[in-house]
Structure 1
Amino acid sequence: MNVLDEALLWLNDPLTWTRRGGIIDLGAEHLAMTAIAVALAAVFAIPLGAWLGHTGRGAGAMVTLGNATRAMPTLGIILLLAAGGLFGDTATVVAAAIFAVPVLLANSYEGVRGADPAARDAGRGMGMTGTRVLLQVELPLATGLIAAGLRTTIVQVVATIPLAALAGGGGLGQIIAFGMGTQRYGQVLAGGMLVAALALVLDGVLAVAQRFVTPEPLRVDTRRR
């Protein structure tokens, strides 16, 4: 029996899915860790990126810093946190949140900065303050690009969370780690297939959501381009 046959046999076992600590439980934990990591990154990066796009103050330095964090290996961050006494899901969520910041920061910045100048001037002409222009004009026009950043970030974090198993964490990475430890390579392949399938399904769902939140005129402009 080859590795692929072993993976399919393992995946076709109902107990593999339904038992305590099985695929369903680990998948739910995987999604929860992803949601927390992306939420932490979004709370920091989206407001900061939007403010920088609105004011232009220190934008170059912040975006450069954000891109520099992308070059930091997530596994290295997890190991550094583990060396400092932070293990398991918490270490992975923190590392994944750091990993998620650059895309959200850059997309928020570019989305607000690229808002239609005529719409911005119209808002100011109506007596809007700078904050109201940002919240009521620029951010609505930037929703498509911000949603695209969230979509990309979520898929990337889903693919990164399996590293949690290396720090004693949960999620679908446990399947891969256990398979490697016991030399059951069919289980390793099955774990990889599950992570890939989860990422693809989420990407499809988020593509629909991205289109839904993008204002109709911007959808027309995108199709024309």
Structure 2
Amino acid sequence: MNVLNFVQAFFSDSSHWHGYDGIPTRLVEHLQYSLEALVLAAAIGLPVGLVTGHYGRGGTTLALIATAGRALPTFGLLVLVVTWLGFGLGPVMIPLVVLAVPPILVTTYEAIRSVDPSPVDAARGMGMPESRILFQVELPVALPLVLSGLRSAAIQIVSTATIAAYVSLGGLGRYIIDGLYQKDYEKVVGGATLVAGMALATLLLFWAVSRTAVSPGVRRSN
């Protein structure tokens, strides 16, 4: 059988649409893991990137952190954390967050630094507080790049959250891990297809958010 036949066989099997191992259940689990990891990564990366970008300090340090974060093997980190903390959702969140923070952090920093300094200087000359300058002058202009960092992080998380299955959790990785163990390649291909589809859906979601959240004038200038 070729890949398309595997895909057709997987999705046409009614047993894959019901129960604890059904596609809807696994999709919800995968989405839960991905959202939690993205929220945690954004809670770390966005504030640090915004503040350091606004004041123009720490760029070299951020670059080193990003390089270190990208160099860490996600699966190896998962094994290390599980050995240390045991099984559970927490050990899965740590490598996913470590994977997602660098693109959010660095892209947010660069986005704020790339804002034209003229309106920023004008806002300071008018006596506007630094917090208002950041959120009312710089962030609206930098928002497309900030969203691109979040998008990159989200896609990486969605694609990598399959590792949850290695520590006996759910998600779409369950099909891949169980399928390999059972030599059920129909299940492996079906799970991989679902992960790819979820990554594409994430791209479309961020495109829609960008069209809604970014002002038309900023979109045209980019």
Normalised TM-score (structure 2): 0.94
CA distance in 2: counterparts of 1:3 and 1:212, whole angstroms:
37
Q: For structure 1, which segment, 29-38 or 146-155, has the greater mean C-alpha deviation from structure 2 after superposition?
A: 146-155
Q: In 2, are the aligned partners of 1:4 and 1:186 still within 8 Å (CA)?
A: no
Per-residue CA deviations over 1:74-112 (Å, capped at 9, x if unaligned) read: 101101111103324322222101100010001110111
Identity across the alignment (%): 36
Whether 2:158 is the aligned partner of 1:158: answer yes
Aligned to 2:75: 75
Distance 1:176 1:42, change over 3 A: same
4+ residue runs of structure 1 moved beyond 6 angstroms?
Answer: none
Q: In 2, are the aligned partners of 1:104 and 1:146 still within 8 Å (CA)?
A: yes
Which runs of structure 2 are paired with 1:127-142 in the superposition (5 Å)? 127-142=127-142
Distance 1:10 1:112, change over 3 A: same
Aligned to 1:15: 15
Look up the equivalent residue of 1:186 and give its one-letter code.
E
CA distance in 2: counterparts of 1:174 and 1:88, whole angstroms:
15
Aligned to 1:101: 101
CA distance in 1: counterparts of 2:2 and 2:88, whole angstroms:
33
CA distance in 1: counterparts of 2:35 and 2:14, whole angstroms:
27
Aligned to 2:48: 48
CA distance in 1: counterparts of 2:131 and 2:189, whole angstroms:
51
Note the C-alpha offset of 1:122. Answer: 1.5
CA distance in 2: counterparts of 1:176 and 1:8, whole angstroms:
16
CA distance in 2: counterparts of 1:142 and 1:67, whole angstroms:
23
Alpha carbon RMSD of aligned pairs, Å? 1.5
Q: How many residue pairs are counted as aligned between the two chains? A: 222
Aligned to 1:36: 36
Note the C-alpha offset of 1:15. Answer: 2.6
Look up the equivalent residue of 2:100 and give its one-letter code.
A
Note the C-alpha offset of 1:151. Answer: 1.2
Q: In 1, are the aligned partners of 2:120 and 2:137 still within 8 Å (CA)?
A: yes
Look up the equivalent residue of 1:47 and give its one-letter code.
P
Gaps of 5+ in 1: none
CA distance in 2: counterparts of 1:2 and 1:120, whole angstroms:
58
SS in 2 for 1:84: helix
Gaps of 5+ in 2: none
Note the C-alpha offset of 1:211. Answer: 2.5
Aligned to 2:201: 201
Per-residue CA deviations over 1:48-89 (Å, capped at 9, x if unaligned) read: 011111112222112221222111111011011111033243
Note the C-alpha offset of 1:145. Answer: 0.8
Note the C-alpha offset of 1:210. Answer: 1.6
CA distance in 2: counterparts of 1:140 and 1:89, whole angstroms:
35
Look up the equivalent residue of 1:28 and give its one-letter code.
V
CA distance in 2: counterparts of 1:4 and 1:42, whole angstroms:
37
Which runs of structure 2 are paired with 1:149-188 in the superposition (5 Å)? 149-188=149-188
